[in-house]
A and B are shown apart, each in its own frame.
Chain A
């Protein structure tokens, strides 16, 4: 796993800038049309189910189950959205809980993953490979198996129905460590070596050199962590007894019953649940477009 360090021998040592890759120079208009067509076709496929979902969120249950399916609801009433809150008066609180847990978790994961990923990517130390395999293997045990012993442990610590209990298992993600390791691997070693020669301390290297370079990766990781967290269902279900500590996915699951699925309410609740994620993604992914700009760094 130290093989990728060969990247240090690239040509063009004079520049240390690593801007975003751009590859097109031929007349943009012409070359882009087929691309747009593909993209738009794909986009329609991606959005089709949501069109139905949103439309169903305005229908009555009977309407939503119509065959053949009607795409346009007969009325645009918000009654389902109101009913979601009627049946689950704490829905807003579920939302808030999910937000709190998500934010704390993301911050923790970004920090721990960057540090650990850096260690794996750019350092040599005894037990490195073994430790990496160990971290990797933590992703390989299905949660359902760890769940019971973990739950017993955390209950014994009296963390049931607390934010700490909700957040605890998510604080460190091997996924994030792996992701960061891969990205940091691609960063040329001379950047770091140069800084070390200049006498910078390791924490300083992390903050001043690594972090700016890692913005796309950090954004990506933030998004992934957010998703995983937003959807987390089993653990919050276990660790919360009090209704006001529950999270959003539990709220959603309450609409899928045993004999009957309240599809109309399910769709309304699902639409509510998805909005923040879409907004966050839209905002964060601008960082990808900005790319990495490293003004002022010398090779």
Chain B
């Protein structure tokens, strides 16, 4: 029958099983937890006092580096790690490559658990909110002074990285937006693909000429604008005002006015009035790469992609048209390498970041047409200029303004809604733009951003 002993024994076995399973070590050894450095001289909290951050003498230090996964970049990082190790034998870099789409889902919990990286990447526009949340450690002067940073790097690539008078990031993955012309289709339509289409009107006229139709159905889009429209509206609004898209002090947008309405009117007219493209034409595909669109707005990296994806397309890169009364220019984005305020070795981490953005490294980064140089010196580099596309792109990069909204996909959502509301829902331009302006300003309030103290 049921003796107490049997029941108790059973319960004990069950509990033991659960405990065993819970604590069983796997067959793989646990990876050493990040940043255990006995002799590091680092302050654990946010802003590190200058004196305390000299590089540790003797004693091995580990710096954990998280990067988005992208095969060519992964290789470059691995090479750079080896080079760095040769020069800094007491610093070991632990490198982890994380799928791009899931980067933040891994970063957040790890920061919370204290197992996060020392060095990671964030988009330039997000630096401000990360900094104001206290998540970033600034560059110590012992590693890189502000004066030197401003001397070495192209101004628009570090503009967003200065917070409270200190630099909290160094640039990487520099991309200017440019218009790609399909040279063959241009020539076919009697247009000259070597010249930039400078005014809104010229651009529209050319786009109309480059559009082909079969009855009602588009067979060739003058410009692929309805897919990833941000690639043209970001540069468009970035160049409307000298203050950029957002005034960093008042946190008010600069496009909620006649000039902004006119710009958006031009953009949306391409589809609603002149029908040079349709949202339903090769939706969510890449018409330019398929040779079905004569123009495409894109980040510079597309120049590298095209080699792989559509090697038969002859293309050239150009500035987008500018608003009446505005100088030539375009917008651009970049990411930043930053150091976590929870890092136990911020000085070593920044040493690594400095290396990652050095001249030698920048040469590697820019070699495969995957990004533009962040360092001024490389803009005159003959090796880079030997590639005609890169030479064109460098000229474009010189007149680039940073996409300076203080957000990334959240502002993208708001601004994309302008396009969608006008094109898909027939809303009038002024209402759509104004609603977005209100939403964007509210977003900054919700993020509790503080006006810049420059």
Contact = CB atoms under 8 A, between A and B. Distances in A.
Contact of A253 (B99, B110, B305): B99
Contact of A65 (B34, B97, B99, B285): B285
Contacts of B33: 158, 160
A278 interface: no
B309 interface: yes
Contacts of B289: 65
Contact of B290 (A65, A156, A233, A256): A65
A250 B96 CA distance: 13
Nearest to A159: B30
Interface stretch (B67-75, B164-172, B237-245, B324-332): B67-75
Interface string A257-299: 1111000000000000000000000000000000000000000
A62 B21 contact: no
Contact of A62 (B25, B109, B309): B309
Interface stretch (B100-108, B257-265, B385-393, B431-439): B100-108
A168 interface: yes
Contacts of A157: 23
B22 A168 contact: yes
Interface in B1-55: 21-31, 33-34
Given A152-B112, A253-B102, A161 B310 contact: no
A66 B21 contact: no
Interface in B274-310: 282, 285-286, 289-290, 292, 299, 301-302, 305, 308-310
Interface residues of B, number: 47
Contacts of A70: none
Nearest to A162: B26
A157 B96 CA distance: 22
B113 interface: yes
A107 B286 CA distance: 46
Nearest to A163: B26
B382 interface: no
Contacts of B310: 62
A62 to B, nearest CB: 6
A254 B115 contact: no
Interface stretch (A24-32, A33-41, A42-50, A236-244): A236-244
Given A241-B31, A241-B96, A148 B109 contact: yes
Interface residues of A, number: 44
B215 interface: no
B58 interface: no
Given A253-B102, A254-B99, A151 B26 contact: no
B309 A250 contact: no
B25 A162 contact: yes
A148 B308 CA distance: 39
B451 interface: no
A144 B26 CA distance: 25
Nearest to B292: A67
B26 A160 contact: no
A259 B69 contact: no
Contact of B308 (A61, A171, A243): A61
B59 interface: no
Contacts, number: 114
Q: Which of A166, A241, A242 has the most CB of B within 10 A?
A: A241
B32 to A, nearest CB: 9
A258 B68 contact: yes
B25 A164 contact: yes
B214 to A, nearest CB: 14
Nearest to A64: B309
Given A160-B31, A253-B101, A258-B100, A237 B290 contact: no
Contacts of A253: 99, 101-102
B113 A151 contact: yes
Contacts of A163: 24, 26-28
Nearest to A265: B71
Contacts of B97: 243, 254
B28 A244 contact: yes
A66 B290 contact: yes
B30 A162 contact: yes
Contacts of B286: 65
A155 interface: yes
Contacts of A102: none
A156 B109 CA distance: 13
A108 B109 contact: no
B106 A165 contact: no
A151 B105 CA distance: 12
A13 B70 CA distance: 67
Nearest to A144: B105
B299 to A, nearest CB: 7
A237 B102 contact: yes
B316 to A, nearest CB: 19
Interface string B114-146: 110000000000000000000000000000000
A61 to B, nearest CB: 6
A211 interface: no
Interface string B407-424: 000000000000000000
11 contacts: A62-B310, A65-B290, A67-B285, A148-B113, A158-B30, A163-B24, A237-B98, A238-B105, A243-B96, A243-B97, A256-B101
Interface of B: 21-31, 33-34, 68-71, 96-102, 105-106, 108-110, 112-115, 282, 285-286, 289-290, 292, 299, 301-302, 305, 308-311
Given A65-B289, A253-B102, 19 more contacts: A87-B71, A147-B109, A148-B108, A148-B112, A151-B109, A151-B110, A155-B115, A160-B115, A161-B29, A162-B28, A163-B27, A164-B21, A164-B26, A234-B102, A245-B28, A253-B101, A254-B97, A256-B100, A259-B305
Interface of A: 61-62, 65-67, 87, 108, 144, 147-148, 151-152, 155-168, 171, 233-234, 237-238, 241-245, 250, 253-254, 256-260
7 closest residue pairs by CB, A with B: A163-B26, A162-B26, A253-B99, A161-B31, A152-B113, A242-B31, A258-B100
